[in-house]
Amino acid sequence: MAKEIATFAGGCFWCMVKPFDSQPGIESVISGYTGGHKENPTYKEVCSGTTGHTEAVQITFDPEVFPYEKLVEVYWQQTDPTDAMGQFVDRGDSYRPVIFYHSQEQKKIAEASKAALQASGRFKKDIVTKIEPASTFYPAEEYHQDFYKKDPEHYKRYRGLSGRDTFINSNWK
């Protein structure tokens, strides 16, 4: 079967690579920007909040080995799905949580998964993560790619200080 693409925004893209990168059937995980109106935005432009883009990861995967349903499960467990205006210390539109679907099948899976998470009662607040059609994805600058491998100490420190690890450990583990 052919490879497929999945795109997820869950706050800082540095923190969204490793959880997917380590799964079987994942060919690549690229950090970048999507959902906005500016062509070829830079990190500085996206952070300014003027481009409409959000930081995201685009994943090329083999659905025979790691189906989209499992990617969505991994996604939820990296985020606070009750926070629409950012993730952890990263605030604003460029850090909003979004599942960007590439097909009607992905949309259906994402919506069913979101509804199941809402119904589970795991969170006291509503699940507010958006599900939107995928648009042009612009890879981020090279220094952002595989950041967890390039600067593991900085990556680990950031995850800890941002509140992401504390949230994940108390809500998902």
Asked about 47 being catalytic, the answer comes back as no
The reply to whether 62 falls in a domain is yes
For residue 17, the domain's CATH number is 3.30.1060.10
* Domains held by the chain: number: 1
Could you tell me how many helices (H) and strands (E) the chain has, helices first?
A: 7, 8
Nearest to 12 by CA among 76, 81, 96, 83: 96
The reply to whether 172 falls in a domain is no
Catalytic option among 6, 10, 11, 12? 12
Nearest to 115 by CA among 139, 99, 95, 136: 99
pLDDT for 17-35, tens place per residue?
999 998 999 999 999 999 9
- pLDDT confidence band for 61 (50 / 70 / 90): very high
pTM: 0.96
The reply to whether 123 falls in a domain is yes
